[in-house]
Amino acid sequence: MSDHNGAAFPGAQELMQMGEQFTRQFFEFVGKQAAGMQQGAAAPVPDGGTLVELQREYAQRHAELWSHMLQRNDTKGEPLVAPQRGDRRFNDDAWAESPVYDYLRQAYLLNAEFMNRVASEAPLEDGRMKARVQFLTRQYIDALSPSNFAATNPEFIKTALDTKGESITRGIQNLLKDLEKGRISMTDDDAFEVGRNLATTPGAVIYENELMQLIQYAPLTDKVAQKPLLIVPPCINKFYIMDLQAHNSLVRFIVEQGVTVFLVSWKNPQQSESKTTWDDYLDKGPLTALEIVRSVTRVKKLNVLGFCVGGTLLTSALAVARARGEDPVESLTLMTTLLDFSDAGELGCLVDETSVATREATIGKGGLLPGQELANTFSALRANDLVWQYVVGNYLKGDKPAAFDLLYWNSDSTNLPGPFLCWYLRNMYLENNLRIPGRLKMLGQKVDLGKVDMPAYLLATREDHIVPWESAYLARRLLGGETTFVLGASGHIAGAINPASKNRRSYWVSTANPSHAEEWLETAEERPGSWWLDWIEWLKPRSGKAIAARGRLGSTTYEPTEPAPGRYVKERAGKS
């Protein structure tokens, strides 16, 4: 095959040989990475027949691409290989205006498609290992995108010419600032401040210990429901994801509905908390908060809500309470929470015996997992959106990220105590012990989720890569009470924090209770808007009669000590 000037291009046979060599070298590397860099790890390459067929198709498509480019005649046309839906890396017209860059992007997308297919066909019986190979393959593909490099990104050149080189200067300045900061800037950090324009719902801290502050929010209605709601957010990030700004605050929405809200604000652990265990979090978190809320409101049974890891902690705490013969809760709401970790999403593929044992040996008896390391792991799960987009924008184009409250929160990382983390990884992600009645002992009690028998509202989100919705559905088979399952649109955060004020997206509901999630979805009805509106209607009948709102927060025993959001949530990771 040759171009108009007679220059030789690779033929189909050459392409197949190149593809075979590259495939084996790449997947030998990935295989060793996936096996924890063990010597002699086998390359997870598909069997000969499958691989030959993939390579034949790969060579054919590359030949078609060459032909397509030769017939292009330097005019912009429809690409032969298009990005997947939602991939915005090549949206700029500059990629289509030049035949060179047009070829670069299409060849990259074709190569990426081939590598992903090889990874998906890898003959691995271990599901966790196969998921890890696919994860590492995607990381490799994302990192090598031509959009990430100055020499192969026409937007870099176009912006540099338009700004007479100023964009390059700004990009270098942005890079130096981020190197000093120790992370990639995703938003304008100066635009937000916790307590000023984030986490502004009025309230007060009424109690604190070494792990959490308990916030009570002030009523915004003349009358409130008799039974309050206690919220337990995840301890792996800051609580104000649930109280961003007035228009998208779940906390404020609930208070405006006439429900008294209490919330656990976890401390950002420092060295003084480096020996904190899972039991410590249960005892000094949800269980302590339950007793204080009951004391302050003089209500025997309250409603509770847990989000993500906070939901796992809360449910575990309720299992301890039930094992003790206590019954402190009227209803349970779980937002994007795993109780059965048999399919723990993309995070699960990164957890194996070697990685957990390494953590146990290094920080299992005491020490901290730095917040930035945790944040980097979560960013890697969506590298194009949370890493490479900002490499291109900040450093190649010299742009300043726009102000975005959600990304400010995403960058506000938290440390984790080693003993807590290691216990959680081993018993949940690695061994999946929580689902087995009596297998785990917490605070001296053998726990059984079947005894957590209050009505439960379970919210999952359809595109969640951290808590797969099908896995969240499995909680229905573990909890002992009546369950209502609702599926929200979008992902782990955007699907959960879907403000009723905007009432966007949609959610699915069904009264059916089959064993399998897909069977439930077949019966479900899609409704437009925010799931918050459905949930609040579920909560209100379980919240008791309306009573006059109290004028003061706390009680004589638990006096307010500082205004919400309190100082714990303002403490930054890395502070000594």
User: What residues are labeled active site?
Assistant: 308
> Is the preceding omega at residue 328 within 30 degrees of 0, hence cis?
no
Judged by phi (left if over 0) then psi (alpha if -120 to 50, else beta), residue 370 lies in beta
Q: Measure the CA–CA gap between 117 and 456, rounded to whole angstroms.
A: 40
DSSP 8-state symbol, 354: H
Tell me if 345 sits within 8 A of 475, measured CB to CB: no
Tell me if 419 sits within 8 A of 369, measured CB to CB: no
Residues 6+ apart with CB under 8 A from 361: none
Residue whose entry in the numeric block shows the structure tokens 């198709």: 57
Q: Measure the CA–CA gap between 171 and 177, rounded to whole angstroms.
A: 10
Tell me if 210 sits within 8 A of 285, measured CB to CB: no
Q: Which of 369, 378, 394, 367 minimizes the C-alpha distance to 345?
A: 378
Residues 6+ apart with CB under 8 A from 461: 336, 467, 469, 487, 488, 489, 490, 491, 492, 494, 495, 496
Strands 229-232 and 261-266: parallel
Q: Measure the CA–CA gap between 182 and 264, rounded to whole angstroms.
A: 29
How far does CA 282 lie from the centroid of its chain? 23
Q: Measure the CA–CA gap between 444 and 156, rounded to whole angstroms.
A: 60
Residues 6+ apart with CB under 8 A from 6: none
